[in-house]
Amino acid sequence: MTYSYTQISHYLTCPRRYRHRYLDGWLEKDSRAAMLFGRAFEKALAAYFLREDPGASLFREWTECQNQSLRYSNGDSWDRMLQQGIILLDRFCQEDRIRIRQPRRNLQIKFSRPLLPGKNEFVAYVDAIGKLDDTPCLIEWKTTSSRYSEEPDGLLALDPQLVCYSWMTGISEVAQVVFVRKRLVEIQYLHTTITDEQRQEFGQLVKDTIRRIESAEFLPHSGIRFPQNPCSTCPYLGLCLAKRQLVETALIRRPGAEGLGWLDELAY
């Protein structure tokens, strides 16, 4: 069986959600504008490092999504997102703080790692390996509509995805480049160091989570976030409440999908 960060993160968010998604094959419909825009934007970044026209790439990729019935949030629209994306790309090129050597090798890099007792492996796709302001590091791109919190100092080192990728690659210097689509767009260049101890702990967490998955422990457990109930924003709510209309609005069924969960890494 092949595992990925997204699978482990789904299980830790709510084991029942994992079962809906990875065992029963229910997928969230691919209509979230923000997610599709993020994919188009990452392709535009790749175009930039490959010395192609990033703006033309963004326009082409985002136009392909235009006729899908997209779900927008925060007052977004197709035109507005495109405009923000173009401004962000311009700013990114002008600031010139990221360097990627040999971009064909160092963008969207696949790492795999065998897991004991030998029947499982863990797969990760890292966005880039390069330099931020001359510091060699592993880099993740993020597109978002609000800035990432930078306080208190050191917060980024607790980001589980960065810890996971550091564990997978053995690279301790990690960075997130956050493209913030707000009224006045902004790019955050966040950098931190992941320790050996964090990497070891993450390896233990992966082992323990896989043991629970393989023991079929899928009790619903969405966590407590008073006064909000995390179930209210969960795409699988319709299944847990047995409400067909909610299921049909949010999900599609992909039977026999239990071996393909790692492909999610390409979509987030």
Distance CA 4, CA 120 (A): 11
Tell me whether strands 173-180 and 135-144 are parallel, antiparallel or unpaired: parallel
Between 67 and 228, CB nearer to ligand SF4: 228
Distance CA 228, CA 223 (A): 10
Minimum distance from residue 42 beta carbon to ligand SF4 (Å): 27
Minimum distance from residue 251 beta carbon to ligand SF4 (Å): 11
Considering all CA atoms of the chain, what is the largest pairwise distance in Å, rounded to the nearest integer?
Answer: 53
Between 15 and 130, CB nearer to ligand SF4: 15
Between 170 and 220, CB nearer to ligand SF4: 220
Minimum distance from residue 63 beta carbon to ligand SF4 (Å): 34
Between 24 and 121, CB nearer to ligand SF4: 24
Between 168 and 239, CB nearer to ligand SF4: 239
Helix (H, G, I), strand (E, B) or coil at 111: strand
Minimum distance from residue 113 beta carbon to ligand SF4 (Å): 28
- With beta carbons less than 8 A apart as the criterion, state whether 151 and 157 touch: no
Task: Using the structure block, give the residue that is written with the tokens 């990627």.
Answer: 100
Between 203 and 230, CB nearer to ligand SF4: 230
Minimum distance from residue 204 beta carbon to ligand SF4 (Å): 24
Phi, psi of 232 (to 5 degrees): -65, -25
Positions in the binding site for ligand SF4 (CB under 6 A) = 14, 16-17, 20, 220, 222, 230-231, 234, 236-237, 240
Helix (H, G, I), strand (E, B) or coil at 228: strand
- For 1, 82, 112, 123, the CA distances from 120, given in Å and listed in that order, are 5, 41, 10, 10
Minimum distance from residue 257 beta carbon to ligand SF4 (Å): 17
